[in-house]
Structure 1
Amino acid sequence: MDYILNTLRSIRLPARYYSLVVPAIATVIVLTILFNIIDSHINAFVPLPKFLSKSKQRELPKTRGDNILYGGHFFPHREWMVPRHLDKFEKLFLDSYLEYRAFLDRQSRTYADAVKNYKKRYNRSPPPGFDKWFSYAQTKASLVIDDYDSIEESIAPYRNMPQKEFLHRMEELRVYDNVFRIAEYKVIERNELMKGQGLWHLLDWDFFYDLPEGFLMYINTWDEPFVFPQELNRTQKIEFFDLGRKPWWPALLEHCNVWEGRNSKYVRKNDRHDYIATIQDAKEALDLCAHPEYEGMHGFFNAPGSLMVTKQLVPIFSVSKLSVFKDLLLPSAAPWHPEFLGNGGIKDFVGKTKKLYWRGSATGGDNNGDNVLKSHRSRLASISQEHPDLIDAKVTTYFGDLEGLQQQWREFGEPERTDHGAENNFSFLMDMDGHGLSGRYYRLLRSKAVVFKSTAVQQWHDDRMFPWVHYIPIRLGMKELAETVKWFATTERGDEIGRRIAEEADWWSRTGVREDDANVYTYRLFLEYAALFVEPRPN
């Protein structure tokens, strides 16, 4: 205050003005402090007038204690104040967004923290080489250090297997030509073969040389998973069975009864929401043993086009799986291939046609005259016919036997062909399974549109893709699809939240599910897997 008075005296104002100017300046200072307090706390719930709003850009991860709920990467956070009344879809977005923020904020920043959090989470010390993995993750600017529960879940059955039996089963796999064997650092030497398979050649596996001696792995070269355990007798020899082109659901029920003991690891709540609300809900929705209503909702359940399985528990790496399979999940490099990721002409969210758009072939199952509309892709096209003002979904190529082809033609008419560029004109894009995982998912996330996703497939990124923040989750039955699209397409708040989701997805696709992030995940997976060869376990 003395500084202010001296400054005013230097200006040589008449003395009578001091009694007016000084209180005015003091008032401005007090109001500025007050508005800053409101800015960081109250305004998270009640929006300030625009002329009092500050315009500043923020990037995640935020600092601890930041209470701005709708803070964004691309827009001034004043555009995202929470209204007094929340629609159900706004609440779904907000709750998941807070969970996402907490997820980013809790990740370890130092190696000591990473070790501490690992021990706390898994009740054991990290595997050998964890320090090198952490350095690698830091070099790749990975935002995810601690949350790799999907790896833990997939490795867990093999931790309980006696080491002698584990090694014996690895030897048994040598005679099968439908798996790709990597041993004794030969991955680089056999890279040309890997290119031929088209699945892993984009991934940087230089860290392979840091793994323990004796490391041996088998990679599934098919789209479908392999390990479908149903036999509790561990002494039986490994055999592969063909379950393709016929109803598969009875075999699934047998697995749930024998292997899972009729109990799912997820507890179904009586008051379960109609919508997939949280990331845990999204995982629960993939648990086939917990959802008997899924029968007839997916082409793979009806009659998979091809499916070779072993009923014995054996460690095989695959790029996707259903919950009842015990394959170890590797990232597929296919989504980063230019054929899938390339998309020129991306347009901003504003100004696009407010419809849900999808084009794709009738893959995902063996279509016949009885099961065409039970296929997930055909059902989407059928829903589109019921809601043409909201959904534009068409099949581009038909597959199946003669009766199946005729049935598809009667239902949908002549197949419509189109190019990838057409999707850039729509605000909402649908992503669905094919024979296995969707190769277009990451491209859609970068398209500055809202991605709606319906899937039965587990993938490596499931621990880090947050529903209602990065995509809109849709159950296999798709009963909620039209209502959800309508809210985003026809309401002011739907448009605002949709724009935000489109930007969050674009940012996360370039920050959290990059090729580098897939490599960090793969390195971590290999460390945990390699420990099975060196850590003593009871026989």
Structure 2
Amino acid sequence: MPETHNPNNLLPKRPIKVQMEDLLPISIFHLISVLSVLKFRTKHGFLYASSTVTASKLPLPVFGECKVNINNDILFPANKYYDYGDERYAYDSTGDVSWDDKVDSMIWRGVTSGGTNTPETWKNMHRQRLVLLTNGTVMKDTNVNIMAMDPNNTGTYKPYDHFQPSEFATKYTDVGFTEPASCVPNCDFYNDVWTYKSSVSLTNQFKIRVFGIKSTIFREWHDSRLFAWRHFVPLDNRYDDLYSILTYFIGLGDANSKGNDGKPYVQRHDFEARKLGRQGAEWANKVLRKEDIEVSVCIRSFHIP
């Protein structure tokens, strides 16, 4: 995997395809292409019930913090990448803990944004779907797909389509909504955020020392600098592979029987999770610095007529 800027991350002609052992390959271009996977047009708030789209018939430059692949907006870094004065967005490494002291769990908190919420539409919003998918009560008696190890062929994986994630979700995920105006003034639950090994991001989050799981349909200014499976784990926008990802890194089942008891078994990959988290944080601190943001803004200013 390259270690430098790679514009092909954004091109349909030469998408970077990656795979992890026998898991299905994911194209980074197709991960964020709204035309490539029509099935998630009803699974994302922006596509299903957008509240922010503004159209113009005039030929004028449009600047934005993010865009979908069919738009031609001129991207610039979001202000929160640069403004570290807001302690809600600042990363202080002194508050972080060593990997061995972190818990095997994935955390996410956010508001119910991303689309127009109505009694008819809210269950199709991407954030709401994530909360429902990781709710142990909601997922009771529900089957999902994972990639389990094949007991008859050591070291290989095969689809297992009747994994019931209720107990796993309760034990290994901590996902929920905050108040509409974020968690202000009570953000106490974030005091322990550094104790989690994984964080799912529906936008972006790279500088913290966790292995990040990233799902988005939007492109940002830094996409050509970040590489899936080296700096983060890509998550399909339908979330069909969420439990495959979590069970792969956390592990599942009895290591002694290794699936021979008829129950799914997935070998634990904690070393790989630690490595992904370290590489992502190190790389972000090299290419997402304030200096990089300033240069990016300067370059984009030349697009102004």
Normalising by structure 1, what TM-score?
0.42
**CA RMSD in angstroms, aligned pairs only:** 2.9
Question: Using the alignment, how far apart are the partners of 1:276 and 1:423 within structure 2?
Answer: 30
Question: Using the alignment, how far apart are the partners of 2:239 and 2:80 within structure 1?
Answer: 27
Over 3 Å counting, the alpha-carbon distance change for 1:369 and 1:317 in structure 2 is: same
Residue of structure 2 equivalent to 1:373: 123
**Cα deviations across residues 512-535 of structure 1 (Å, max 9, x unaligned)?**
1212122233333345x37xx6xx
**Cα deviations across residues 205-236 of structure 1 (Å, max 9, x unaligned)?**
xxxxxxxxxxxxxxxxxxxxxxxxxxxxxxxx
**Cα deviations across residues 444-470 of structure 1 (Å, max 9, x unaligned)?**
x22211111111111011111101111
Indicate yes or no: 2:300 matched with 1:525: yes
Residue of structure 2 equivalent to 1:348: 98
Stretches of structure 2 that go unaligned for 5 or more consecutive residues are 140-168, 252-265
Q: 2:235 aligns with which of 458, 474, 479?
A: 474
**Cα deviations across residues 320-375 of structure 1 (Å, max 9, x unaligned)?**
11112211111123123232123451112222110111111111111111111111
Residue of structure 1 equivalent to 2:159: none
CA contact (8 A) 1:276 1:285 kept: no
Indicate yes or no: 2:70 matched with 1:300: no
Opposite residue 347 of structure 1, the aligned amino acid is: V
CA contact (8 A) 1:276 1:475 kept: no
CA contact (8 A) 2:48 2:125 kept: yes
Stretches of structure 1 that go unaligned for 5 or more consecutive residues are 1-98, 105-143, 154-264, 400-415, 534-539
Higher relative CO (Cα under 8 Å, sequence separation at least 6) belongs to 2
Give aligned pairs, total: 246
Residue of structure 1 equivalent to 2:254: none
Question: Using the alignment, how far apart are the partners of 1:423 and 1:394 within structure 2?
Answer: 13
Normalising by structure 2, what TM-score?
0.72
- 1:82-161 matches, cutoff 5 A: 99-101=1-3, 104=4, 144=5, 147-148=6-7
Residue 419 of structure 1: CA displacement? 3.9
Over 3 Å counting, the alpha-carbon distance change for 1:492 and 1:506 in structure 2 is: farther
**Cα deviations across residues 280-318 of structure 1 (Å, max 9, x unaligned)?**
x21222121222112111111122233222245532221
Opposite residue 178 of structure 2, the aligned amino acid is: T
Question: Using the alignment, how far apart are the partners of 2:170 and 2:49 within structure 1?
Answer: 29
Provide the secondary structure at the position in 1 that maps to 2:283.
helix
Question: Using the alignment, how far apart are the partners of 2:273 and 2:287 within structure 1?
Answer: 20
Q: 2:109 aligns with which of 351, 359, 365?
A: 359
Question: Using the alignment, how far apart are the partners of 1:420 and 1:335 within structure 2?
Answer: 19
Provide the secondary structure at the position in 1 that maps to 2:55.
strand
Q: Which protein has the larger Cα radius of gyration, Structure 1 or Structure 2?
A: 1
Opposite residue 516 of structure 1, the aligned amino acid is: E
Opposite residue 176 of structure 2, the aligned amino acid is: K
Residue of structure 2 equivalent to 1:320: 66
- 1:20-59 matches, cutoff 5 A: none
Residue of structure 2 equivalent to 1:485: 246
Question: Using the alignment, how far apart are the partners of 1:150 and 1:315 within structure 2?
Answer: 23
Indicate yes or no: 2:273 matched with 1:509: no
Residue 395 of structure 1: CA displacement? 1.2
Over 3 Å counting, the alpha-carbon distance change for 1:516 and 1:505 in structure 2 is: same
Residue 497 of structure 1: CA displacement? 0.6
Question: Using the alignment, how far apart are the partners of 1:496 and 1:283 within structure 2?
Answer: 27
Over 3 Å counting, the alpha-carbon distance change for 1:503 and 1:150 in structure 2 is: closer
- 1:118-517 matches, cutoff 5 A: 144=5, 147-148=6-7, 265=12, 275=24, 277=26, 281-338=27-84, 339=86, 340-343=89-92, 345-385=95-135, 386=139, 387-397=169-179, 418-433=188-203, 438=204, 441=205, 445-490=206-251, 494-517=269-292
**Cα deviations across residues 371-397 of structure 1 (Å, max 9, x unaligned)?**
111111111111111322232211123
Provide the secondary structure at the position in 1 that maps to 2:298.
helix
**Cα deviations across residues 177-226 of structure 1 (Å, max 9, x unaligned)?**
xxxxxxxxxxxxxxxxxxxxxxxxxxxxxxxxxxxxxxxxxxxxxxxxxx
CA contact (8 A) 1:300 1:365 kept: yes
Residue of structure 1 equivalent to 2:256: none
Over 3 Å counting, the alpha-carbon distance change for 1:276 and 1:301 in structure 2 is: farther
CA contact (8 A) 1:296 1:302 kept: yes
- Bigger proportion of residues as helix: 1
Over 3 Å counting, the alpha-carbon distance change for 1:418 and 1:395 in structure 2 is: farther
Over 3 Å counting, the alpha-carbon distance change for 1:352 and 1:514 in structure 2 is: same
Residue 150 of structure 1: CA displacement? 8.0
Residue 398 of structure 1: CA displacement? 5.5
Question: Using the alignment, how far apart are the partners of 1:150 and 1:353 within structure 2?
Answer: 32
CA contact (8 A) 2:250 2:268 kept: no
Over 3 Å counting, the alpha-carbon distance change for 1:458 and 1:287 in structure 2 is: same
